[in-house]
Structure 1
Amino acid sequence: MMTTIKLPYGKEHINVKIPEERLNAVLVSEMHEYKPELSQIEQVKKALENPIGTPRLKEMAKGKNKVVIIASDHTRPVPSKIIMPLMLEEIRKGNPDADITILISTGCHRETTKEELEAKFGSEIIANEKIYVHDCDDESMLVNIGVLPSGGLLIINKLAVEADLLVSEGFIEPHFFAGFSGGRKSVLPGVASRATVMYNHNAEFIDNEKARTGIIDGNPIQTDMLYAARAARLDFIVNVVINSEKEVIFAVAGDCDLAHKEGCKFLNDYCKVDSVPSDIVIVTNGGYPLDQNIYQAVKGMTAAEATVNEGGIIIMVAKSNDGHGGDHFHKTFKEEKDVSKMMDAFLATPSEKTIPDQWQSQIFARVLKNAKVIYVSEAPDEMVSDLHMIPAASVEEAIKLADKILAKEDAKITVIPDGVSVIVL
């Protein structure tokens, strides 16, 4: 008998059949079964009408001329078509004449294209609102506003600094080294300079045992991020939790710390799953947009890392139609074949010398030290091999390869259909 499991892949799904006698467990977040009483729009409206730790946004907008709304970029499945119109409406209720700019928080990602902006916000917002895409390397648009607790300089987009009212939209999900996404991350890394992001994502912090999925308290990366949000005067956030269909199932609004923690608490209640160790773990990055490249797929691998046996096999399923997603990331693994040497070099790197993609490379190297990775994608085989992985054209082929490597055909298999939606304990 076979069990069929549906795996997100790009904007579609693939069905994988696993023999019942080999299937150890399917680890899924209870969140995807959660059925809210309210519609997506009603959820966000309710949050806006009942903010945590702040007045309503319309009250905060009174007398504030320059309003900046930080919005996520093309790499995040934030349902901005739902959130942004409601935020704009709420701000204009309090100040019809407000000068509003939507600032796209690209962090160190590539620029978001016009087509991606239209897909994200819809044609009406694109046609009628001012939108500025953050560039972490454009010094003419960056301002130094202080020093982070870690010692790094806090340099962020001057549109955020000059705002009379700074607010943000976003979504909360488990994050593989920041604990959770959303909240204060809108400022750092969202609209910070490359130098600031590099310092915050340093090797010592990434190596810290608190810099793990689902942990905020004591996480040194989060300490910097919250400080940055307060220093930038991020006054109000609207954050949502989404299910596997990218639909809003929970929303919070208000203070960038208090509201965010409420959203994290909701996730903790529904996303935690117990590990079921296996020799083979199949995992995805939740489909589009997070499986567009290999760089982002490291996130899903960390869920598998938490439940794969030492020396086992992770089968990562990520479309990766955009390729590797990070030049430094690719170059690091292509040029150094010894993962242990690579890790030693990362840990010896001072915070101020952190290079782009180093954190992702460091976490990826940690995964590779424990398990082999077979990669099912549309990325070129040579690129996958450069990154110390074994390419496969399908999950079925990957399982056969795994069996061959392990020298047994009955190895137990754990499947994580959405690796970025679970906190594996």
Structure 2
Amino acid sequence: MTNIKLPYGQGYLEAEIPDERVAGILVSDMHHYKPAETQVEIVRKAMENPIGTPRLREIAKGKKKVVVIASDHTRPVPSKVIMPLMLEEIRKGNPDADITILISTGCHRGTTEAELLSKFGPEIMASEKIYVHDCDDESMLVNIGTLPSGGELIINRLAVEADLLVSEGFIEPHFFAGYSGGRKSVLPGIASRKTVMFNHNATFIDSDRSRTGIVDGNPIHRDMLYAARAARLDFIVNVVINSDKEAIFAVAGDCDLAHIEGRNFLNSQCKVSRIPADIAITTNAGYPLDQNIYQAVKGMTAAEATLNEGGVIIIAAKSNDGHGGEGFYKSFSEEQDVSKMMAEFLATPSEDTIPDQWQSQIFARILKNFKVVYVSEAPDNIVEDLHMIPAHSIEEAIRKADEILGKSDAKITVIPDGVSVIVL
């Protein structure tokens, strides 16, 4: 028997699969990568050797208002490692800098005090100014121009008024922006809902360039990079993390050039060749990425890339926060015909994009081609309303997949971390 261990919430699910059924296991080499230095040493070294810019301490000289964009509660960025080093470096260049940490929630809910404490620790919480971005707070939003696609670029006022704008983040495969990190700190991170909606429009999402691991010709990436430049994002510190959410590689410097270096490292570790099978088991990498069904669509795209036509996706995502998006949920609970949904998405003008439409569009694409068995703690009725089949263990999910396929010997490809691999 082959034992599989899948990230699930803050723990793991384990299951045994007969050896003869396992087609293969797709695992990022990153999980086996063992850096020679500690996380602090890795980040510090990157900051001492920035790509395309002077050191942050030099950039900070003479800059009164400094804004550091930080990720929110949905991203496993090791901020306890990165943020103290960034703050130290800024103050070495400018001891009197007026620093604000701006939480880049995008269109997510606001990050709670408890989540901020978990993210930064008590010292930063007690001593630093922290502001949580709200994409709907008109009083805190400023229009700074037009994106290449024609959308309005509206971002947080604190970033616009800053003398120096920098960001922390992490780089991982992203299912329509190509990669996370870098320029995404601005768009969608601190952008208005209107700007995010336009950037995530149906035509862009439908592009075959808007896929995991692709930036060349990716219209979503193009707008995001333009937004970062327009906002004067002068310096980034981005890390690549392993399955334990620890930094194993870091880059610092220019928001594009440093990001490219990070992507190159990620590609060297994360690209895997598809292993065709009738069943694919995947995850959304555990906490914090598997808190809801909405986010778990990302992990499904890895399974989508390896499955045979008409196959079954099994995804394990704890989803203790439920569906994760009201618009996303209603789109599926109120319409049973996913082909009709797709047609409606594609007919929607960019400026009329609605919240969660992009996620719904990608999810509909998956549901058109595959059955999905969902292992979670979400209520069964919510899972069923979202056109999926609920299960509460991997063993139960495999039994249900076998019933769907009408056979008990279908080959299975396992993807323990569905957001860390780029399936070719």
Alignment of 1:249-398 (within 5 A): 249-398=248-397
Q: CA deviation at 1:14?
A: 1.3
Q: CA-to-partner distance for each residue in 1:151-181, whole Å, 9 max, x for gaps?
A: 0000000000000000000000000000000
> What letter is aligned with 2:145?
G
Q: CA-to-partner distance for each residue in 1:101-154, whole Å, 9 max, x for gaps?
A: 000000000000000000000000000000000000000000000000000000
Q: Which residue of 2 aligns with 1:232?
A: 231
Q: CA deviation at 1:56?
A: 0.2
Q: CA-to-partner distance for each residue in 1:329-375, whole Å, 9 max, x for gaps?
A: 00000011001000000000000000000000000001111100000
RMSD: 0.4
Q: CA deviation at 1:408?
A: 0.4
Q: Which residue of 2 aligns with 1:169?
A: 168
The list of structure 1 runs, each at least 4 consecutive aligned residues, that deviate by more than 4 angstroms after superposition, is none
Q: CA deviation at 1:55?
A: 0.3
> What letter is aligned with 1:389?
M
Q: CA deviation at 1:78?
A: 0.2
Alignment of 1:96-107 (within 5 A): 96-107=95-106
> What letter is aligned with 1:368?
L
The number of equivalent residue pairs is 424
Q: CA-to-partner distance for each residue in 1:207-227, whole Å, 9 max, x for gaps?
A: 001000001111000000000
Q: CA deviation at 1:310?
A: 1.1
Q: CA deviation at 1:52?
A: 0.1
Q: Which residue of 2 aligns with 1:420?
A: 419
Q: CA deviation at 1:16?
A: 1.1
> What letter is aligned with 2:194?
A
Percent identical: 79
Q: CA-to-partner distance for each residue in 1:251-281, whole Å, 9 max, x for gaps?
A: 0000000000100000001100000011000
Q: CA deviation at 1:384?
A: 0.1
Whole-angstrom CA distance in 1 between matches of 2:131 and 2:217? 34
Q: SS at 2:34's partner residue?
A: coil
Whole-angstrom CA distance in 2 between matches of 1:16 and 1:31? 23
Whole-angstrom CA distance in 2 between matches of 1:408 and 1:26? 21
> What letter is aligned with 2:252?
A
Q: CA deviation at 1:393?
A: 1.2
Whole-angstrom CA distance in 1 between matches of 2:4 and 2:407? 22
Q: Which residue of 1 aligns with 2:116?
A: 117
Q: CA deviation at 1:86?
A: 0.1
Whole-angstrom CA distance in 2 between matches of 1:257 and 1:290? 25
Q: What's the TM-score once normalised by structure 2's chain length? A: 1.00
Q: CA-to-partner distance for each residue in 1:36-75, whole Å, 9 max, x for gaps?
A: 1111000000010000000000000000000000000000
Q: Which residue of 2 aligns with 1:156?
A: 155
Whole-angstrom CA distance in 2 between matches of 1:32 and 1:117? 27
> What letter is aligned with 2:423?
V
Whole-angstrom CA distance in 1 between matches of 2:44 and 2:213? 27
Q: CA-to-partner distance for each residue in 1:302-337, whole Å, 9 max, x for gaps?
A: 000001111110001000000000000000000110
Runs of 5+ in structure 1 lacking a partner? Answer: none
Q: SS at 2:20's partner residue?
A: coil
Q: SS at 1:45's partner residue?
A: helix
> What letter is aligned with 2:178?
G
Whole-angstrom CA distance in 2 between matches of 1:10 and 1:187? 28
Q: Which residue of 1 aligns with 2:6?
A: 7
Q: Which residue of 1 aligns with 2:180?
A: 181
Q: CA deviation at 1:26?
A: 0.4
Q: CA deviation at 1:186?
A: 0.2
Whole-angstrom CA distance in 2 between matches of 1:278 and 1:327? 33
Q: SS at 1:306's partner residue?
A: helix
Q: Which residue of 1 aligns with 2:40?
A: 41
> What letter is aligned with 2:87?
L
> What letter is aligned with 2:18?
P
Whole-angstrom CA distance in 2 between matches of 1:66 and 1:389? 49
Q: SS at 1:21's partner residue?
A: helix
> What letter is aligned with 1:257?
D
> What letter is aligned with 1:146?
G
Whole-angstrom CA distance in 2 between matches of 1:197 and 1:180? 17
Whole-angstrom CA distance in 2 between matches of 1:373 and 1:310? 13
> What letter is aligned with 1:411?
A
> What letter is aligned with 1:222?
H
Whole-angstrom CA distance in 2 between matches of 1:35 and 1:238? 20
Q: Which residue of 2 aligns with 1:68?
A: 67
